[in-house]
Amino acid sequence: MSTAGNSAQAQPDIETVRARVDRLFHESEQAAERYNDARLELTELNGDLKSLEADQSRQGDALAGVRSDVRASIIQRYQTGGLGPAGQLLASDSQGFLDDLSTSSTVGELQDSLLADYGTELEAYTIRKDQTQKRRDDIAALQKTLATQKKSADDKLAQAKELLSKLEAKEREAILSRGSDRPIDSSSISASGRAAIAIKYALAQVGDAYVWGAAGPNAFDCSGLTMMAYAQAGVSLPHSSRAQYSSGRHVSKSEMQPGDLVFYYSPISHVGIYLGNGLIVHAANPGAGVKVSSVDEMPFAGAVRPG
């Protein structure tokens, strides 16, 4: 058997390469959408942390105020001869200060309400402090997750590009140019109100690049395109296909109307906008960019009517 024959036999056909590229693009997008999910969670955690830090500061001020009142009470009683040396009760740390008071023979001479208030504020401050530290730890862990998802998306995309680089120009075009190439005029689509505005914006982006994490003006990922399209209509959507699935009323495939969001895969990792007549507009993948495709090009997961 000749070497040339072996080489020809070993060369994968165009359909095999297409399947590999599609799989790598999909895996890259899955990682990218998980990255988007993590970014949303990080934003929420940072908001929680800011609120907790403000609460902790207020609680610290309240704790300091009650502690000052208790100290003043001790010093006053000491000066009037009612207590032993005041310095023995002025522990430098909060818990030590409370312990000193609790074990001292002078407790009975202090105002019960002051001591109770101090214990309450100390407990509240400690809870806030612990919650704040937990949020900081959560954020640190999530930042590591972000880095992992970013690397995963980049690695899969690099593998797909390497496969494509080995093909002839005509073969690359055959893989990347699938979908509807005919221009679609948004005015020809039966939609009104917010849906019409979103469709018009999305169709104007056809031909733009796919870049994961991007939301315009010249590049988008899938959820970035749908988010920006509906933003033009005054509808706020999160930058995540999974999160967008909870952004409105769920409709069946047979009930879909132009403007509905269409979701794909399980777990959900892709979203487009339904145009009617069995078509969607979406940021497809890094090879195809924003394009018009069949609604059945990917495994259907559900549809949502935003707003």
> What was the pLDDT predicted at 23?
83
> What was the pLDDT predicted at 24?
83
Domain boundary among 130, 165, 200: 165
Question: In terms of domains, do 184 and 82 share one?
Answer: no
Residue 153 backbone phi and psi in degrees, to 5: -65, -45
pLDDT band at residue 75 under the 50/70/90 scheme? low
For the annotated catalytic residues, the residue numbers are 222, 270, 282
pLDDT band at residue 76 under the 50/70/90 scheme? low
Question: In terms of domains, do 189 and 160 share one?
Answer: no
pLDDT band at residue 7 under the 50/70/90 scheme? very low
Question: In terms of domains, do 148 and 219 share one?
Answer: no
Does a structural domain hold residue 135?
Answer: yes
- Nearest residue to 280 (alpha-carbon basis) of 263, 305, 266, 301: 263
Higher-confidence residue of 198 and 178: namely: 198
Does a structural domain hold residue 4?
Answer: no
> What integer best gives the mean pLDDT of the chain?
79
Does a structural domain hold residue 6?
Answer: no
CA distance 86 to 50: 38
Domain boundary among 115, 141, 165: 165
CATH of the domain at 33: 1.10.287
pLDDT band at residue 134 under the 50/70/90 scheme? confident
Percentage of the chain with pLDDT > 70?
76
Does a structural domain hold residue 8?
Answer: no
> What was the pLDDT predicted at 96?
60
CATH of the domain at 211: 3.90.1720.10
Higher-confidence residue of 242 and 129: namely: 242
Question: In terms of domains, do 103 and 219 share one?
Answer: no
Long-range contacts of 38-43 (CB under 8 A, 24+ apart): 38/142, 38/145, 38/146, 38/149, 39/146, 39/239, 40/238, 40/239, 40/240, 40/243, 41/142, 42/139, 42/142, 42/143, 42/146
Question: In terms of domains, do 142 and 283 share one?
Answer: no
Would residue 197 be called left, alpha or beta, if left means φ above 0 and alpha means ψ between -120 and 50 degrees?
alpha
17-21, 128-132, 255-259: which has the highest mean pLDDT? 255-259
Question: In terms of domains, do 146 and 207 share one?
Answer: no
Question: In terms of domains, do 88 and 47 share one?
Answer: yes
Q: How many domains does the chain have?
A: 2
Question: In terms of domains, do 223 and 258 share one?
Answer: yes
Looking up tokens 């399980």, which residue turns up? 266
Q: Which string of b and e fits 17-50 if b means at least 16 CB within 10 Å?
A: bbebbbebbbbbbbbbbbbbbbbebbeebeebbe
Question: In terms of domains, do 161 and 22 share one?
Answer: yes
> What was the pLDDT predicted at 196?
95
Question: In terms of domains, do 155 and 56 share one?
Answer: yes
> What was the pLDDT predicted at 1?
46
Domain boundary among 140, 165, 190: 165
- Say yes or no to pLDDT of 72 above 90: no
> What was the pLDDT predicted at 64?
79
| Least confident segment among 12-16, 111-115, 145-149, 256-260 | 111-115
Overall average pLDDT of the 211-228 stretch: 94
Q: Evaluate whether 227 touches 262 at the Cβ level (below 8 Å).
A: no
Does a structural domain hold residue 226?
Answer: yes
Question: In terms of domains, do 108 and 246 share one?
Answer: no
Q: Which domain holds residue 108?
A: 14-165
pLDDT band at residue 237 under the 50/70/90 scheme? very high
pLDDT band at residue 48 under the 50/70/90 scheme? confident
Question: In terms of domains, do 150 and 286 share one?
Answer: no
